[in-house]
Amino acid sequence: MLITGGRTLEGSVRVCGGKNTAVAVIPATLLCDEPCTIENLPDISDVRALVDILRSLGAKVDYVPGAFMTVDPRPAEVCKVGYADSQRLRASYYLLGALLGRRGEAQVYHPGGCEIGSRPIDQHLKGFAALGAETETTGGRITVKAENLVGGDVFFDMVTVGGTINVMLAAAKAKGTTIIYNAAKEPHVVDLANFLNSMGAKVKGAGTDTIRIRGQEYLHTSTYAVIPDQIETGTLMIAAAATGGDVVINGCIPTHMEALSAKLLEMGAKVSDSDDAIRVRSLGVHRAINIKTQVYPGFPTDLQQPMSALLTTARGTSIVQETIFEHRFKHLDEMTRMGAKVRVEGRTASITGVPELFGAPVTCTDLRAGAALVVAGLMAHGTTEIYHPEYIDRGYEQIEQKLRSLGADIRRETAD
Ligand code: EPU
């Protein structure tokens, strides 16, 4: 991906459906006893991988990229996801909860996805065990099995988005009531609950730290549109500020963006919103700030990386604390090649603003690191070459087209 920086982003852009909600809602279609349709899906590689996986399980999938997907799960007889498919995305682990709920058994390999920490799934397995499942892990292969899946109490040791979603999936079809304590409150947890309820499930309390799920034997057809992508919205907001631009982001949910909006305001940008749009304006001169990543509604770890790109030119020294994932600073090493002044100690980075970044060859190490390099490239003097942009395609739909429509000079070429 080649970006020649220094262009001011201006105009309006529409966000797509949320990645982290799509990757939960698509496996959830396996719980349905009739065909169902999911709309507003982002056209990203994680969604395409899930289409292949559902088909490999025997489900009939009619998929129109960037539009909708109809899944008829009734012919799905297979309960195993192979190694290669499991590795294609992190969210392959949701097949554990979905297949356990659907057929009482599942086999999935330890998932792939971005390498931003050790990312164990012990809490997911503990949750399945509380629902009466036996769990076994050998050679990276995870098997969960339950003759009778029954509701149970699940106490998470830490707030886990994946664990909360996985237990919700299995519990939707378990006999009796499951209560998840210390549940994640992220918007995509609420979106999954809404989708499950639209099929007749009984999920209450999503969005709080206690979720109650009364399992149902039969879930009926539904047509459901996933919520807009909170992280794409945030990345575009940051890109607008980073280029001293004036951008309206349409089709988003401003209340999901409050932690970021507050930080941009603190830096000196102007942020205003209406029901489903946010406008970010900036003169491109920003104050240094401190950030600590937290679970929702705190500052999201997924925006820490793009935000730290913006901080590289803010006046003063910013302190960024990453509390969720232990290896989520790899993008900073890459940005030092572009002139960023950064010191990392454990989970804390201190970023001292420089007057200007300059273009350099850099490499994506994970999805949001890629988004950070795009923001840095948009700000930099000269041309930035971003290698391995396929990481970005995991979670951003048509990123070049969207940024180009706002005035960016960005394109993709095949490297030698
Ligand atoms: N954790 C455990 N044990 C578990 C589960 C989690 O120790 O069984 C730890 C993790 O290692 C981490 C923390 O708990 O330190 C939180 O992990 P969580 O389970 O919440 O994260 P996740 O489900 O692996 C999802 C998103 C991430 C996003 C995080 C936090 C998906 C597919 N992934 O990951 O998204 O950063 O929640 O909001 O939904 C991204 O989109 O770039 C991305 C990485």
Which ligand 1 atom is the nearest neighbour of the CA of 118?
A: 11
Ligand 1 pocket, mutate which of 44, 160, 191, 304 (most atoms under 8 A from CB): 160
With the CA atoms of 16, 56, 110 and 303 taken in that order, what torsion angle do they form, in degrees rounded to the nearest 10? 0
DSSP structure string for 183-228 = ----HHHHHHHHHHHHTT-EEE-BTBSEEEEE--S-----EEEPPB
Tokens of 63: 């998929």
DSSP 15-70: --B-HHHHHHHHHHGGG-SS-EEEES----HHHHHHHHHHHHTT-EEEEETTTEEE
| Atom 33 of ligand 1, residue of closest alpha carbon | 20
Q: Which of 16, 32, 79, 114 is catalytic?
A: 114
Please tell me if the CB atom of residue 90 comes closer than 6 angstroms to any atom of ligand 1. Answer: yes
The response to whether residue 123 sits with its C-beta less than 6 Å from ligand 1 reads yes
Give 11 Cα–ligand 1 centroid separation in angstroms: 33
Query: Does the annotation count 114 as an active-site position?
Result: yes
Which ligand 1 atom sits nearest the alpha carbon of residue 89? 32
Report angle CA 171, 174, 180 to the nearest 5 degrees.
30
Q: pLDDT tens per residue, the chain (416 residues)?
A: 999 999 999 999 999 999 999 999 999 999 999 999 999 999 999 999 999 999 999 999 999 998 899 999 999 999 999 999 999 999 999 999 999 999 999 999 998 888 888 889 999 999 999 999 999 999 999 999 999 999 999 999 999 999 999 999 999 999 999 999 999 999 999 999 999 999 999 999 999 999 999 999 999 999 999 999 999 999 999 999 999 999 999 999 999 999 999 999 999 999 999 999 999 999 989 999 999 999 999 999 999 999 999 999 999 999 999 999 999 999 999 999 999 999 999 999 999 999 999 999 999 999 999 999 999 999 999 999 999 999 999 999 999 999 999 999 999 998 76
Beta strand pairing status for 361-363 and 383-387?
parallel
As beta bridge partners, residue 281 has 246, 270
CA of 367 to the centre of ligand 1 (A): 14
Expressed in angstroms and rounded, the spacing between residue 234 Cα and the centre of ligand 1 is 18
Ligand 1 mean position to 325 CA, how many Å? 8
